[in-house]
Amino acid sequence: MNDANARPVQLHVIHDLGGGSAKWLADYVKADTERTNLVLRSFAHDTAAGIGISLHEDAAADSPALRVWTWSDKIAAAAVTHEQYRAALDEIVRDHGVGGILVSSLIGHSLEALDTGLPTVVVNHDYFPYCPSINLYFKAMCEKCDGHRVAECEAGNPQFNAFAGFGAAARVEVRERFVELVLKPNVTMVTPSASVADNLRRLDPRFQRVRFVTIPHGYGNPLPHALPADPESGGRLRILVLGQLSVAKGVELLRAALDRITAFADVHLVGCRELGEEFRRRPHVHVISDYDLHELPGHIANIRPHLGLLLSIVPETFSYALSELMMLGVPVAATRLGSFAERIRNGVDGYLFDPHPDALVALVAHVDSHRDELQSMRAAIAGWRPRTARVMVADYHAALPISVPGAAPARRSSAPGSAEFAAQALTLASMWKDVKALHRHVALLNEARDRDETGRREQDRRHASEREALQRRIENANKRFNDQEEMHAAKDVQLERMRQHAGMRDGQVAALLASTSWRISAPVRWVGKSLRNLIVLARCIRAGTRQPSQIGENFGKVVAAGRSAGIPGMKAALLSLQPVVDPPDAWAAYQQAFRTQVRPRIVERIGTMQVKPRISILVPTYNTPEDVLREMLASVQAQLYPEWELCIADDGSTARHVVNVLQEHAARDPRIKLHLDTSNRGVSHASNRALELATGEFAVLLDHDDILEEQALFRVAESLLQDKPDMVYSDEILVSRGGAVARKFVYRPAFSLEYLRGHPYIVHMVGFRTALLREIGGFDESMRISQDYDLILRAVEKARRIVHIPELLYRWRIHGESAGHARMHEVMEVSTAALQRHLDRCGAQATAREGAGFNLFDVRYPVSPGVRVAIVIPTRNHGDILKQCIESIQATVKDVQYDIIVLNHDSDDPATLQYLATLPSSVRVLAYSGVFNFSAINNWAVAQLAPVYSHYLLCNNDIEALQPGWLERMASLAEQDEVGIVGVKLLYPDHHTIQHGGVLVGAFRGAEHYGKFLRTPAEGIEPGYECSLAVNREVSAVTAACMLVRREVFEAVGGFDTGLAVGFGDVDFCLRVRERGHRIIFCGLADLLHHESYTRGTSSIDPHPADTAQFQAKWTVFIQKGDPFYNPGLSVMSTAWATRSPLHCSFEIERRVYRRERPLVGELARVRQPSATTPKAVAHGE
């Protein structure tokens, strides 16, 4: 209190439900540089709005708590008095020197927050608790609100009653006490718009005596003006409905008016969330379910809306959506309610209409026929900018004077013994928010289902004859289109699997709840078994309802994670369950988004290209079915990029239609060139004849039965002009035989030589510099199978720039007629031989063998005699685990020279000290003392070693080697050109659950292990996504739990960053090694066990928040651009390569460019010697 620099302290009271109040608080706290802002947040569970409170010194929802309190007496919605709450509040005010209170919400709080005697401001983001249903809405906007109406509302207003257990009597008691408190002289009611005070005064005359001050919300980070000055006036009217749809936000109004509006207008629903999905398939309706705020200007620029619609049927107190649309230059039409009527000047800078479908349709029709009015409105709002958050804060300081500075906030933990309980309470509250959201979603879906069912029954009664005719048409269509039959069959299989999994669900849930690791520790035992069961079931229902057929698999993952890694592992497994994307629906949504948001910009970009390099498409044909052949030709002729030539070589087709169709198209389009053979000489021969026809700078391969996406050649041309590649490849879609039904999306990483040698992951679309193809002699005409893999290997040997285009550019038909699928054994023999020839040409002195499955290969490199490894094992106590680690190394490493160095960090366990004393002299023991800092410990250990070692193996004491040869595999990879670090596959102690398959940088806003919690089958392997767990491949980082690093690389980067004491030090180390051009290799052919966290324990919350924050700040750009070895089409909120939902669709893409200074051939023969040389290759995004 005596600190001259101390600032006044004010306490914000708020709920943890997010929304506009959370944005207001974040903007306020960031802008307030004159006062210390503490945040008191209630958290909820089950039907209770308040089961406790947490105190924070940051407005972020995920900020760590200074202190947590939980209640034995829960708060249903808001309490008049609450003994535990009052005691906690008094303690906060006293200990932190609080001088003033700002109440943003009393949900989950006691009204005693208004009764501290301190200067107090009530920020009216809504009408709670005076209005128990929050929004002043019961059948219509409320014109009165007495005790009788409160009782009627509680019984008959279910869509607006958020609080179960908050009966009519309690509601009246709470609001009466609320009015008494806000009448006190130390309390000021602040409203973001004057309409709030007007409504309260209208409903209750007592509010005439309350002190009201109107302070409009400020805006923290204004958005740029995105709309063109004058969107073209021709064409259909484009309407934007911004924000989440709900009953309060006017979804019923939209339903009733939509068909009439879409007769002459396109409607874009942006950020509509779950309810918007019911409109996705409606004609002229375009849906973007969710978006980040920084993406909004891009959406506006793509849509170019004539008019924005805000449809709330309740009186909004402010509306950030209105501010955002005005900032972006979009005229707005809104309901004539609340702040809308106050902020919009009807006919000047926007429109107002009554909240009725007829009024909405009439207004939109008026706008469509009087588009000239929009131009003056756009001019009126062109320079509009919102109040800044700083100006808003100044107004609040004036409304809330605090004369006595408070003490600096003291960071305090929860009461002794309750830290874990507090963390669990916050975790349960967070999980319950998700569960409640799920319940709301399910209720909405059920409502939509019932509504649709009623409509269908009525339609059946009215149109029985039409239904019969439609059925006949469907049956005929099914006969014509094999795709639909395949899809129906697949759905039948899926439904059967769903029934089977549903039948097993009860047993799996019982196993989950009975697992030892799910027993909650003593401080949370009072929560009770029923509460734990509810939480587990609710979370699992959330995951299971995403895709019923996945119920069994998801529960298996959770159980395995719990048994392997305890409660934190189970929590992580639950949170990592991602929605299963349904390929047909996701692809349809992607196509719609592409047509509306991306295609126009591509066409515009092509029009501005000064240089358009010619691209040759090489297609060998042989007896191609006519419909398939025509589709292939049409996909080329539909390319947005015009500068192409189609070079087709027919390999002596005996089906007459093939040549006829080819000649028909060639006669109409001079860009189609033909070579017609009279005999069948194989696909490689035909491909080379097509290459002879090519005059383009670049050549793209296209199979005769596949399809190019319309943007494919534009993306290639874009790369040619900017990247100057020798070779490009893209992602692809696997489709049904008919070509229209998506089955699977294949997303690829940046180029990785080891990955290609272990698995031919580059398939379609692939293209090459034409001169390079001719330099390597084209296809090997002695090969009639695996010829593409052979060609790619030979091209890679010469290529200096290889570009991955992370975009779905190619449709690959799934059918059983592919030569590769029909002759798998021969494919493996031929491919292995091609791989061996490649290794020989590269001088790698390696042996290629068939791997553990189809198209998997095992490349064995030799280990040079000069390799000597220092195995550094830090330990603290747990001598039994250390003993197991050392003995497993000694039993499994035979052909590599190594020494074991144990780093004893202040062990005080007698058994451990006795074991260390008995170790033979061949195991060196170093003593280290001091605070735990993983980075500093390893740096210190390495500094003690003589420079006789070529490599250091950093190894946790809880690692257990399983199979001979693992270190030999790591060392052989670590000797390869440009390799700096090698990691391995780690399993949990059950031997069947993946713990580490490399590190995905950027996962969960930090980093996480690939494949974590995936289960390996009882027999065989878990290949991972596109076999990425079953082979060696390049990654951005690996864990230091078992990491092999070259000595000169470790020295060159200065070891680990000691500023990262516990978390992310290994990831940071790997990224710094990559910055110097060295490769990081994950060895998928070496499996070890990791008894994770034996040494330091486990934690259910982030155990190193400071390290997390430092890592995120240091590598912000890398995280934002994305890990090059992970595709942007995959979710970074998953460790199991879940596809993003909705599918990633963007005009600007981040291509990944791999560069070499010299061709590969001949260079890998030179194994690295002890002296470092300058690396020559790196893959990264540009």
Q: What is the pLDDT of residues 683-734, one digit of tens each?
A: 999 999 999 999 999 999 999 999 999 999 999 999 999 999 999 999 999 8
Res 456 pLDDT > 70: no
The more confident residue out of 770 and 477 is 770
In 3-state terms, the chain is what percent helix, strand and coil (to 5)? Answer: 40, 20, 40
Rounded Cα–Cα distance for residues 981 and 1050 (Å): 9
Span 516-529, mean pLDDT? 41
DSSP result, 605-641: HHHH-S----EEEEEEESS--HHHHHHHHHHHHT-SS
Res 808 pLDDT > 90: yes
- Condensed to tens digits (0 to 9), the pLDDT of residues 1076-1108 reads 999 999 999 999 999 875 333 334 456 678 888
- Condensed to tens digits (0 to 9), the pLDDT of residues 102-151 reads 999 999 999 999 999 999 999 999 999 998 888 878 777 787 787 778 88
Do both 626 and 510 map to the same domain? no
Span 881-902, mean pLDDT? 94
Q: At what angle do helices 251-261 and 357-369 cross, to 10 degrees?
A: 40
C-alpha to C-alpha distances, 69 to 66, 74, 85, 535, nearest whole angstrom: 11, 12, 8, 20
Query: Can you read off the two tokens belonging to residue 540?
Result: 């699992």
The more confident residue out of 1160 and 122 is 122
Least confident segment among 866-875, 912-921, 1131-1140 = 1131-1140
DSSP result, 648-668: EEE----SHHHHHHHHHHHHH
Report yes or no on 466 lying in a domain. Answer: no
CATH number for the domain spanning 264: value is: 3.40.50.2000
Do both 979 and 899 map to the same domain? yes
Closest CA to 1005 of 828, 866, 1123, 835: 1123
* pLDDT in the model for residue 1176: 42
Do both 504 and 633 map to the same domain? no
857 within 8 A of 849, measured Cβ to Cβ: yes
CATH number for the domain spanning 197: value is: 3.40.50
> What single letter denotes the amino acid at residue 599?
R
Residue 597: DSSP 8-state: I
Do both 267 and 332 map to the same domain? yes
- Condensed to tens digits (0 to 9), the pLDDT of residues 385-408 reads 899 999 999 999 999 999 765 444
What mean pLDDT is reported for the chain?
A: 83
Report yes or no on 424 lying in a domain. Answer: no
Report yes or no on 67 lying in a domain. Answer: yes
Rounded Cα–Cα distance for residues 892 and 961 (Å): 7
Do both 654 and 796 map to the same domain? yes
Rounded Cα–Cα distance for residues 338 and 1083 (Å): 62
Quick one: CA torsion of 436, 437, 442, 448, rounded to 10 degrees? 130
Res 496 pLDDT > 70: no
Res 152 pLDDT > 90: no
Rounded Cα–Cα distance for residues 232 and 502 (Å): 54
* pLDDT in the model for residue 91: 95
Residue environment code for 919-942, b if the CB has 16+ CB neighbours within 10 A, otherwise e: eeeebeeeebeeeebbbbbbbbbb
Do both 610 and 542 map to the same domain? no
- Condensed to tens digits (0 to 9), the pLDDT of residues 203-236 reads 999 999 999 999 999 998 888 776 654 565 568 9
1068 within 8 A of 1060, measured Cβ to Cβ: yes
Report yes or no on 871 lying in a domain. Answer: yes
* pLDDT in the model for residue 1012: 87
The more confident residue out of 880 and 586 is 880
pLDDT tier at 582, thresholds 50, 70, 90: low
The more confident residue out of 1007 and 163 is 1007
Res 505 pLDDT > 80: no
Do both 745 and 848 map to the same domain? yes
112 within 8 A of 86, measured Cβ to Cβ: yes
Residue 735 sits at φ, ψ, to 5 deg, of -125, 165
Res 453 pLDDT > 70: no
Closest CA to 98 of 187, 11, 1: 11
C-alpha to C-alpha distances, 382 to 324, 328, 385, nearest whole angstrom: 13, 8, 9
Do both 696 and 812 map to the same domain? yes
Query: Can you read off the two tokens belonging to residue 330?
Result: 């979009």
Residue 803 sits at φ, ψ, to 5 deg, of -115, 130
Residue environment code for 188-205, b if the CB has 16+ CB neighbours within 10 A, otherwise e: bbbbbbebbbbbbeebbe
Least confident segment among 583-597, 1010-1024, 1051-1065 = 1010-1024
**Number of independent structural domains in the chain:** 5
Do both 606 and 528 map to the same domain? no
The more confident residue out of 672 and 569 is 672
pLDDT tier at 1164, thresholds 50, 70, 90: very low
Report yes or no on 521 lying in a domain. Answer: yes
Rounded Cα–Cα distance for residues 240 and 331 (Å): 10
- Condensed to tens digits (0 to 9), the pLDDT of residues 983-1007 reads 999 998 888 888 999 999 998 888 9
Distance from the Cα of residue 1002 to its chain's centroid: 10
Cα angle 1118, 1122, 1125; round to 5: 110
Query: Can you read off the two tokens belonging to residue 781?
Result: 């005409």
Do both 1095 and 1050 map to the same domain? yes
Within a 10 A sphere around the Cβ of 226, how many other Cβ atoms?
Answer: 18
Closest CA to 853 of 990, 1028, 730, 731: 1028
Least confident segment among 527-536, 613-622, 884-893, 899-908 = 527-536
Beta-bridged to residue 959, according to DSSP, are 1090
Query: Can you read off the two tokens belonging to residue 25?
Result: 């608080």
Instruction: Look at the chain and count its residues.
Output: 1182
Q: Which of 834, 859, 884 is the last residue of a domain?
A: 859
Span 957-971, mean pLDDT? 93
Q: Which of 1093, 1114, 1135 is the last residue of a domain?
A: 1114
Res 615 pLDDT > 60: yes
Element spanning 482, H or E: helix 482-514
* pLDDT in the model for residue 1016: 78
CATH number for the domain spanning 814: value is: 3.90.550.10
* pLDDT in the model for residue 277: 84
> What single letter denotes the amino acid at residue 376?
S
Span 808-835, mean pLDDT? 78
Query: What is the percentage of the chain residues whose pLDDT exceeds 70?
Result: 79
Do both 266 and 378 map to the same domain? yes
Mapped to the 3 state alphabet, what secondary structure does 190-201 carry?
Answer: EECCHHHHHHHH
Query: Which residue range is the domain that position 57 belongs to?
Result: 9-218+391-399
852 within 8 A of 845, measured Cβ to Cβ: no
The more confident residue out of 188 and 1120 is 188
Q: Which residues contact 910 (CB under 8 A, 6 or more apart)?
A: none
Report yes or no on 1149 lying in a domain. Answer: no
Greatest pairwise CA separation for the chain in angstroms:
100
Least confident segment among 19-33, 74-88, 337-351, 521-535 = 521-535
Closest CA to 260 of 394, 341, 357, 162: 357
Report yes or no on 607 lying in a domain. Answer: yes
pLDDT tier at 465, thresholds 50, 70, 90: low
The more confident residue out of 1160 and 286 is 286
Q: Which of 357, 385, 413 is the last residue of a domain?
A: 385
* pLDDT in the model for residue 1105: 82
Report yes or no on 473 lying in a domain. Answer: no
Rounded Cα–Cα distance for residues 313 and 899 (Å): 74
- Condensed to tens digits (0 to 9), the pLDDT of residues 851-875 reads 888 889 999 999 998 899 999 999 9
Considering Cα of 149, then 150, then 151, then 154, what sign does the dihedral take? positive
pLDDT tier at 572, thresholds 50, 70, 90: very low
Cα angle 273, 159, 324; round to 5: 40
Residue recorded with tokens 């004057």: 194
Do both 930 and 852 map to the same domain? no
Considering Cα of 351, then 354, then 357, then 358, what sign does the dihedral take? negative
pTM for the whole thing? 0.56
